[in-house]
Amino acid sequence: MIGKLFYKLYLYRINQKKQKMKTKLFLIAVISAFTFTSCEKCQDCEASYEFINGSNSNAYDVLAILAGYTSFDNLFHETDSINQLNKEYCDLELTVNQFYSQENDIDSNGINEIRYFYDCK
């Protein structure tokens, strides 16, 4: 009788230890999952431009001055809709912006003079 009681107590303690171990392993797994899966690839990106194909800012500066700005650079960096694009991007949105490139031909001569893109760091 006493032997059975000790045996049941022994089994109960083993089960308690197993249950505690299972709980610890479960918590470690959950913490590990959050640690490694919540890590996002993020970068700050700023809308930018460059003049291409030998063009310069002269024609763009004239248009900006007519619009009340001191230069095209001033117009570009003072425009609220462009400034809203300057922010942190993550994952797919970051990848899309890193490869974004738009070229424009302002004088309709068939040669693009300016390229818009995101500068991500």
pLDDT tens-digit readout, 10-24:
666 776 776 766 666
The pLDDT > 70 percentage for the chain reads 70
Where exactly are the structural domains of the chain?
1-39, 42-120
pLDDT tens-digit readout, 91-108:
999 999 999 999 999 888
Enumerate residues 6+ apart whose C-beta is below 8 A from 72.
57, 60, 61, 63, 64
CA distances from 47 to 20, 33, 116, 117 (A): 53, 35, 7, 6
Q: Is the pTM of this model over 0.95?
A: no
> How far apart (Å, rounded) are the C-alpha atoms in residues 13 and 49?
70
Q: For residue 107, what is the DSSP state?
A: T
Question: What's the pLDDT at 16?
Answer: 72
Mean pLDDT over all residues of the chain? 83
Enumerate residues 6+ apart whose C-beta is below 8 A from 47.
76, 82, 85, 86, 116, 117, 118, 119
